Amino acid sequence: MKILDYLYDKTVLTDLEAVDKPGVIDELSGPVAAKTGIPHNEIAKVLMEREKLGSTGIGDGIGIPHGKLAALETLVIGFGLSRKGIDFEAMDAKPVHLFFLLLSPDDSTGLHLMLLARISRMLKDRKFRESLANAKDSEDVLRIIGEADAADDA
């Protein structure tokens, strides 16, 4: 199981324009909606409902909004980079720059949790976070994540 099995060029945004949490959720939901065929507003609603339970801003400039949708056929990951940083109500109260959106079908709890853990584990590496924060484009993001995916399996 690799992140790149579920992250696609079209679901990577390297210049988020949003200035707040609802804006980020909305902006990240667009490409995932296009990839899955599920309405954009339905995805954003599920993610915002999850945020009401507690922020997915985990600190160190990272946010991992996630949720489950019955209509989804397979897990999908989106990535967003905010160069200026966004108040995402993170645990450390610092702006969030790196976002991993994780959306999975209702019946895939195990895979959902394994990918959340894998993403979290990779993001503990400061050099990995810095590389992502300095990515120029989606190709760069996919390369950086691919290298970390391979190293995590080693």
Catalytic (active-site) positions? 66
Give one word for 61, left, alpha or beta, with left for phi > 0 and alpha for psi -120 to 50: left
Identify whether the C-beta of residue 109 lies closer than 8 Å to the C-beta of residue 134. no
Contacts of residue 64, defined as CB under 8 A and 6 or more positions apart, other chains included, come to 56, 58, 99, 100, 101, 102, 116, 119, 120
> Maximum Cα–Cα distance for the chain, whole Å?
39
Which residue matches tokens 């195990």?
A: 110
Please give the distance of CA 106 from its chain centroid, rounded to a whole number: 18
